[in-house]
Homo-oligomer: A and B are copies of this chain.
């Protein structure tokens, strides 16, 4: 297909496609004349992944290149490729500032409660672990540290979401599709989960408090 068809099929403007070609995020098509090239399904699927990384993940070109390198290297196993992809979209930890002594220790105790309950094997270098620790410390600093029952419910919630995520990933075909599915499902899924949580809160609040209104 020509670049105009590639644009139509992918929903990515021609100018953006040309930019991705120059930046090396998309491989060149087969040259058919000095001003034309032919593209195929490999360009379409790569373009879908790049679009997801840039538009949904909000990643810089440099980080997109790093993720694509992991996707394209058959020596990088699927688990590691997913890690590289999802670590890239895990923002910096919420910075609670230096809390009173003891908040960090309480956050670590919370994480111990969670791992004992879930059996999760935590990789100490994962950005999400630093993120969870930082948020928990901030909750304690504000006097709203969760109790064990709350931690277990949150861990259950995270487990359900992750179960859905990995099921979707398992249905994906190529390594590109695996990375794309994980990225879109995780980033948009965070926003969806937050919205559904608000809806569920409202439903519970109505049943719990409506009589006192």
Chain A residues engaging chain B, CB cutoff 8 angstroms: 11, 48, 51-52, 56, 77-80, 82-83, 86, 90, 94, 114, 118-123, 126-129, 131-132, 135-136, 138-139, 141-144, 146, 149-150, 153-170, 180-182, 184-186, 188-206, 208-210, 212-213
Contact = CB atoms under 8 A, between A and B. Distances in A.
A interface: dominant SS: helix
Contact of A186 (B80, B135, B149, B201): B201
B78 A213 contact: yes
B164 A121 contact: no
A73 to B, nearest CB: 12
A8 to B, nearest CB: 11
Given A120-B200, A198-B126, A201-B162, A167 B138 contact: no
Given A195-B135, A196-B114, A150 B164 contact: yes
